[in-house]
Amino acid sequence: MPGYRDLFDSSITDPVAFWGAAADAVTWTRPPGRILDDSNPPFYRWFPDAELNTCANTLDRHVDAGRGDQPALVYDSAVTDTKRTYTYAELLEATARFAGALRKLGVGKGDRVVIYMPMIPEAVIAMLACARLGAVHSVVFGGFAPHELAVRIDDVRPTVIVSASCGIEPGRVVEYKPMLDAAVGMVEHPPRHCVVVQRDRHRCDLVEGRDLDWADVMAGAEPVDPVPVAATDPLYVLYTSGTTGKPKGIVRDNGGHAVALLWSMRHIYDIEPGDVFWAASDVGWVVGHSYIVYAPLLLGATTVLYEGKPVGTPDPGAFWRVASEHGVKALFTAPTAIRAIRKEDPEGKYVGDYDLSGLKYLFLAGERLDPDTYHWASEKLGIPVIDHWWQTETGWAIAANPMGTEALPLKAGSPTVPMPGYDVRILHDHGHECETGQEGAICIRLPLPPGTLPTLWNADDRYQASYLTEHPGYYLTGDGGRFDEDGYLFVMGRIDDVINVAGHRLSTGAIEEVLATHPAVAECAVIGVADEIKGQAPRGLVVVKAGASTDGLADELVKLVRDEIGAVASFKLVDVVPALPKTRSGKILRKTMRGIAAGRDEPIPSTIEDPAVLDALSPILRG
């Protein structure tokens, strides 16, 4: 097999040949005759004349090849003490039947289905069933509050919503149905039907004429065959935070997605058919889409679906138990999870309670991997700990250490090197490339490789404005960083006002919009500050209206954000301040405040309106 450098160079100098060869791993109903359509930049499309079905590539082809008895999905629920393994044949049968149920409810090729579910097998089945029909799924994380769910429903306009009666957290049951009902009551474009999985821990009331029990629709469903779609047709829409507060619908196409994820499983994660891969994420996030559901099954590996936490279900050994019991070869999670385990088990005693001889790699992504966490995990596990960096928009790693190709030396603080297809450049504000070691905006020269977003849902102009206009010919990642003398990439953090809370990107603007609705709040700002466990946490700074009481205000604001955005925001820090520092044009100096809160000596901008405001605020930010 060629080494990393040969693969990378060939992907940049001749991307058509490189990705054309990679496409041979996919089963097409009409193979690509053309690899890249570059006739309408900056809108590039991969495999424009090809046709396939993603669900058939994840299930049918493995069953047809005689591997139907191999485990496909292992469900391990620490919160319900339930374990179940689906073979490829069993998962295909359930998926084909639910696809038949959706078709009976009016879902066809190109229609949308919103999935608002906890980490249960039915969530995976629903996603695959949509792919089988050529329908477009949009999974919404179960922790989002009704307003956030409603915004996504109205944008994507689903024919059907698939949900569950509840999610289960350590020590509590989260009722999904009231949140779903509230969201549907807010929207302009309600679905025809809601299909609800009734969980044993809590059953919910169904709305007559609209809601259907999952068990009932499955009982009367006939399995359906996969529907071929164009490689450029959307597979799913996944919403991510935007700096304006309005979420952006990231579109993922079918063909490029299948090619890229298959390539990544072997070359980055060193996974082969039959290996067990575990992405300890949620199906509501991009990692769950790419590496719980699609990539392992496209390859023919076994994927683990874990309903639980890294700690508290029941102890800091939860991850090591799952890895040991199910023979996990590679574990992929966020640094937040490892920090939480380390906090409760600093000596790593629980690691020794389990046979982890089969665990070869720990992959971490979703937020910056701090050196302390990297060194702790490396020492306690005694295996390579691989930091890698990617985004909801890209769907797979921009930079990584390609363990299935050539294991490169590890460097703490770096996700190693750009992956094939990603022509990464560090650019100054004026567009010139930075020198080695100099920080700038991390950008990727167009075209982006297969599997990345071709556009935003019904928002081509916003796609261009958000990512492509700052540096024409390049995709702006929104992160800053640098290359070192060995060509290793160092990602230093966001350059916009989106923060990363435990791997979940959240818009500070969205939180500010919620705070501003409180009758006592005159103006506010939200910044991301360092958090020992979650990496970043939102911190609110509010100025109250004259005469307004501040008694209990902080608690009210925390509750308001929780109700409107959800617990996922992890919003707990609120300070009432006399004023916010601004430029003379009225722009709040969020970047300056972030720097002061991080302990840096921030220069006072020349455009500041009143330096005394910043002087008064600095002790609060540093406190």
Provide the residue ranges of all domains of the chain, joining segments of one domain with +.
502-622
**Alpha carbon of 501 to those of 41, 496, 498, 504: distances in Å?**
34, 15, 10, 5
> What pLDDT is recorded for position 382?
97
Could you give the percent of the chain with pLDDT greater than 90? 75
pLDDT exceeds 90 at position 325:
yes
The Cα–Cα gap between 422 and 394 comes to 10
Given a contact cutoff of 8 angstroms between Cβ atoms, the answer to whether 91 and 294 are in contact is no
pLDDT at 242 over 70: no
Residue in 233, 267, 265 with CA at minimum distance from that of residue 251: 233
Residue 161, SS3? strand
Report the alpha-carbon distance of residue 480 to residue 499 in Å, rounded: 13
DSSP 487-519: S-EEEEEESSSEEEETTEEEEHHHHHHHHTTST
Alpha-carbon gap, residue 169 to 313, rounded angstroms: 9
Between 502 and 186, name the one with better pLDDT.
186
φ and ψ of 124, to 5 deg: -65, -45
Which pair of structure tokens corresponds to residue 17? 């040949």
For 175, other C-beta atoms within 10 Å of its C-beta total 14
- In order of 88, 258, 394, 398, the CA distances from 2 in angstroms are 32, 22, 24, 19
Alpha carbon separation from 618 to 263, 580, 586 (Å, rounded): 49, 11, 19
Dist CA 148 CA 113 (whole Å) = 16
**What's the pLDDT score for residue 156?**
97
**The CATH number of domain 502-622 is 3.30.300.30:** yes
Q: What is the mean pLDDT of residues 454-465?
A: 97
- Tokens 């009331």 identify what position? 205
Render 254-271 in DSSP notation, one character per residue.
Answer: HHHHHHHHHHHHHHTT--
Q: Are 18 and 10 in contact (CB under 8 A)?
A: yes
Q: What is the pLDDT of residue 496?
A: 66
Residue 470, helix vs strand vs coil: coil
What are 377-404's pLDDT values in tens digits?
999 999 999 999 999 999 999 999 999 9
Three-class DSSP category at 354:
coil
Q: How many CB atoms lie within 10 A of CB 532?
A: 12
In three-state form (DSSP H/G/I as H, E/B as E, the rest C), the secondary structure along 538-560 is EEEEEEECCCCCCCCHHHHHHHH
Q: What value does the mean pLDDT take over residues 319-340?
A: 95
- pLDDT band at residue 583, thresholds of 50, 70 and 90? low
Q: Residues near 339 by Cβ (< 8 Å), separated by ≥ 6?
A: 373, 532, 533, 535
Q: Residue 367 carries which side chain, given as an amino acid letter?
A: E
Give pLDDT, residue 1. Answer: 67
With 0-12 / 13-18 / 19 or more C-beta atoms within 10 angstroms meaning exposed / middle / buried, residue 611 is: exposed
Residue 433 host element (H or E): none
Residue 314: asked if its preceding bond is cis (omega within 30°), the reply is: yes
Rg (CA), the chain: 24
In this prediction, residue 245 carries a pLDDT of 60
H-type alpha helices, 301-344: 318-326, 335-344
The pLDDT assigned to 553 comes to 95
Average the pLDDT over 424-442 and give the result. 91
Residue with more model confidence, 609 or 557: 557
Report the pLDDT value the prediction gives residue 604, as an integer from 0 to 100. Answer: 78
Tokens, residue 623: 């406190």
Predicted local confidence at residue 582, as pLDDT: 83
Lowest-pLDDT range, 4-13, 459-468, 510-519, 576-585?
576-585
Using DSSP, state whether 126 is helix, strand or coil.
helix
69-74 mean pLDDT: 98
Model-level pTM greater than 0.85? yes
d(CA 620, CA 623): 5
Q: pLDDT tens, 492-516?
A: 777 766 677 877 767 787 788 789 8
Which residues lie below 8 Å from residue 295, measured CB to CB, with a gap of 6+?
261, 262, 264, 265, 277, 396
Query: What mean pLDDT, rounded, does the chain reach?
Result: 93
d(CA 158, CA 138): 9
Burial class (CB in 10 A: 0-12, 13-18, 19+), 369: buried
Taking each helix axis from N to C terminus, what angle separates 553-564 and 508-515, rounded to the nearest 10 degrees? 120
pLDDT digits (tens, 9 = 90+) for 84-110: 999 999 999 999 999 999 999 999 999
Backbone CA torsion sign across 116, 122, 127, 133? negative
Q: Would you say residue 45 has pLDDT above 60? A: yes
